[in-house]
Structure 1
Amino acid sequence: MTRQTLSLVPVPKPRMTQRDRWQKRPAVMRYRAFCDHIRLLKAQLPPSGTHVTFVLPMPKSWSAKKKQAMNGKPHTQRPDADNMLKALCDAIHEEDSGIWDVRITKVWGESGQIIIDTPDVGLEVAA
C-alpha cells in the first residue's frame, strides 16, 4: 500500500455558474487555490482501488475534552464527501471519467489532511 499525505484543509467543489468566471466569490476562490495547491504537490489518484481519507480540522471553539473525544471519529456534517472528492479529482485529472473505484472516508482531526492510499498492485476487471 502506497500512501500520500497532503497537509492541507480539504475543500468541497462549489456549485459554479458562468458568472464565477469574473465574479470573485470566496467559495470559488478557495476552491481554485485548493486545486492549484494540489497540482503543486503533484498528487496522484489512480483509476481504481484507492482509499481517500479527508481529515477535517476540529473547530477552535471546541473544548480540549471534546477535541480528544472526536479525534479520528467520523465527520457526518457538511461538506459532503462526494463534493470533496470532486474537487480532488478535478485538481488532479483533466478528465476524471476514467476513475471507477474510489472509497471515501471523512473524519475529524487536529489539522486538515488528505490521505490517499493506493494498493501496490492494480485491480483487474474479471472478464
Structure 2
Amino acid sequence: MESLDAELWDNGENWSMGERQMLCLARALLKPSRVVILDESFSSVDQTAEEKLVEILNDNFLHSTVFLITHRLDQVLQFDKIMVMQQGALVEYGTAAELAANSDSVFYEFLETTLLTF
C-alpha cells in the first residue's frame, strides 16, 4: 500500500494478503462490537506487525469478547482464556498457565512440539 489514496481493486487483488488482513482489522476497529471473531487474521504478516496487531487488539477491544482462531501458539499465550479445538470439538478450556501445567493436555503437547515455554 503506497498511500491512503491507493486504489483497491475488486477483492483486494492489488494488495498483499497481509495488507488485506490489516484492513479487515481496521474495519473492526471502526465499529466497536461486543464479539469479534478473527480467523487466522495474522497469518500473512511478519512477527513485528503481528505483535503490533495483538497490542492493538488488547488496547481497543477491552470490553469485547475476542475469538482468535489460529495455529500460532505464540499468539494465544497473550489471551485471557484459551479454547482448544480438536476435530471440531472443544477439548480444553482455561488459561495458558492452567493448560500448560497439565502434561496430559493437548495444549501442553502443542507447546512441547513447538518448543515454546510458558
TM-score (norm 2): 0.27
Whose relative contact order is higher, 1 or 2, with alpha carbons under 8 Å and at least 6 apart? 1
Q: Which has the higher helix share?
A: 2
TM-score (norm 1): 0.25
